[in-house]
């Protein structure tokens, strides 16, 4: 399952980030992981959430919550000279002038926005790390 390999990569990335923390934070548990997923990333959010419980079992992330933020498609329309948000992914035409757009600005994201650990330091940020999954 595609989604299972994605969540496995997320678990790996967060685990590596935990290991890189100062000694004081060793053994901290992860409370919440936030992902940014573009609507063009071909990912089923419900499947991610379903796989999360399986992939985190027996790791520092066990029992944590997965929060998925869906990123809409934004393109730059050369005709309007404006960034336009597309309502759907069926048509890649500018909603203002109906010209086709090809300059995709966002919508393919698949990255960890941040994660939160149970630690004195509070919120630990993992700066928008790309998740190493192809396809
Ligand atoms: Zn336009």
- The per-residue pLDDT for range 31-41, each reduced to its tens digit, is 999 999 999 99
Binned at pLDDT 50, 70 and 90, residue 120 comes out as low
* Separation of CA 59 and ligand 1 centre (Å): 48
* Separation of CA 107 and ligand 1 centre (Å): 18
* Separation of CA 105 and ligand 1 centre (Å): 14
Domain residue limits, the chain = 2-72+107-129, 73-105
* Separation of CA 102 and ligand 1 centre (Å): 11
Our CA dihedral for 104, 44, 15, 58, rounded to 10 degrees, sits at 180
Residues in the chain: 135
Amino acid 52: pLDDT: 97
Query: Quick one: fold of 2-72+107-129?
Result: hypothetical protein PF0899 fold (3.30.2320)
Binned at pLDDT 50, 70 and 90, residue 83 comes out as very high
* Separation of CA 63 and ligand 1 centre (Å): 46
Question: What is the C-alpha radius of gyration for the chain, rounded to an integer number of angstroms?
Answer: 18
Q: For residue 109, is pLDDT > 60?
A: yes
pTM equals 0.78
* Separation of CA 75 and ligand 1 centre (Å): 10
* Separation of CA 93 and ligand 1 centre (Å): 8
What are the φ and ψ backbone dihedral angles of 73, each rounded to 5 degrees? -80, 130
Which pair of tokens denotes residue 102?
């090809």
Above pLDDT 90, what percent of the chain? Answer: 70
Q: For residue 132, is pLDDT > 70?
A: no
b/e burial code for range 68-89 (CB count within 10 A of at least 16 → b)? beebebbbebeeeeeebebeee
């Amino acid at each position: 399952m595609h989604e299972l390999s994605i969540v496995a990569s997320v678990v790996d990335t967060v685990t590596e980030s935990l290991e890189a923390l100062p000694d004081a934070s060793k053994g901290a548990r992860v409370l919440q992981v936030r992902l940014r997923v573009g609507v063009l990333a071909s990912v089923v959010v419900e499947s991610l959430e379903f796989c999360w419980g399986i992939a985190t079992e027996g790791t520092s992330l066990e029992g944590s919550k997965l929060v998925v933020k869906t990123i809409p498609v934004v393109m730059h329309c050369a005709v309007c000279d404006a960034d336009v948000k597309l309502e759907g992914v069926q048509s890649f035409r500018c909603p203002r002038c109906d010209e086709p757009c090809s300059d995709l600005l966002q919508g393919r994201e698949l990255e960890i926005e941040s994660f939160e650990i149970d630690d004195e330091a509070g919120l630990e940020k993992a700066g928008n790390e790309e998740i190493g999954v192809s396809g």
